[in-house]
Structures are given as C-alpha cells and as structure tokens.
Amino acid sequence: MTLEDKVHAFRLHVLQRAQELGNVSAACREAGISRTLYYRWKKRFILYGIDGLHPRRTATHPGRPVQLDTTTERKIVATALSCPTWGPGRLSLQLEREGIVVSASTVWRTLRRLGLGTRMERLLVLEVHSAKSAGLLTERTRQT
C-alpha cells in the first residue's frame, strides 16, 4: 500500500467515522484533524466521489535554474572584483543597469560558492593578484 493509498484510506475512514458517530467534532478530534479540513474533504467527496479523496498532485514549479550560465557568472565576479566593497544588493543593481537581471541572493550564492562571499575575501583576492602582478611583497601576501 503506497502512501497515497494510505492517505486516501485515512480520509475515507474519517468521513465514515463522522457518519457513524453522527458528530463531526468527535470524529475530527479522534483523527487529530480540524473540522475545516474535514469539510474540505467532504466537499471533494460530494463533488468527485471516492476518487476525490486521493491526494491531489501538485504541479511542478519551475523554480530557479540549476546553474547560471558562464557569461552571467563571469560578469557577477568581474563586477564584484571591480567594486569589492559593495554588497550583493548593490552589485545586483549595478548588474541590472548593465542588462543582467539577477537577484541579490543569486549574486551572494554565486560569490559564496566561488570563495568571494565576504568583502574581506574579495579584497584579499585583489591584494594577492596585485602583489603577484606588481611583484610587491607584503606580510599577508608572503604567507599565501
């Protein structure tokens, strides 16, 4: 017996129990459900018969894409490194001005996944990059 069948049987049992007792409140109390839910099930039973008590399948929601395309991801990183002190909200607005619409949470998730989630991480990457390209040696770049 599948979970769907068990749910169907439970709903049918509650409706039958209310009929036997002649008291909806008592049947709902026994089953641990609200009377509102009972009447919702009863309405579906009246409209669709016994098949109306099966759990309804919910439509799949499109959700967010699994992964950003590489051009969008590169643009997020480039913008974040060009303005390393900006937070995800401000970066999102800047990207929107440039024609790339991404939410602040998407910007933050992308930066965090790449190890650039905080302002300090972005500044450190820039410091190490500039030290390597210019040959400058600081205490922090010497340790990495």
What is the chain's pLDDT, residue by residue, as a tens digit (144 residues)? 788 889 999 999 999 999 999 999 999 999 999 999 999 999 999 999 988 888 877 666 676 666 788 999 999 999 999 999 999 999 999 999 999 999 999 999 999 999 999 999 999 998 888 878 777 666 665 655
Looking from the CA of 142 toward its CB, the CA atoms found within 13 Å total 4
Residues 6+ apart with CB under 8 A from 116: 77, 80, 81, 122, 125
Q: Tell which residue, 49, 67, 54, has the closest CA to residue 106.
A: 67
Whether the Cβ atoms of residue 114 and residue 78 lie closer than 8 Å to each other: no
Domain boundaries, the chain: 3-53, 70-143
pTM over 0.75: no
Whether the Cβ atoms of residue 84 and residue 64 lie closer than 8 Å to each other: no
Structure tokens belonging to residue 49: 């018969």
Output the pLDDT for position 106: 92
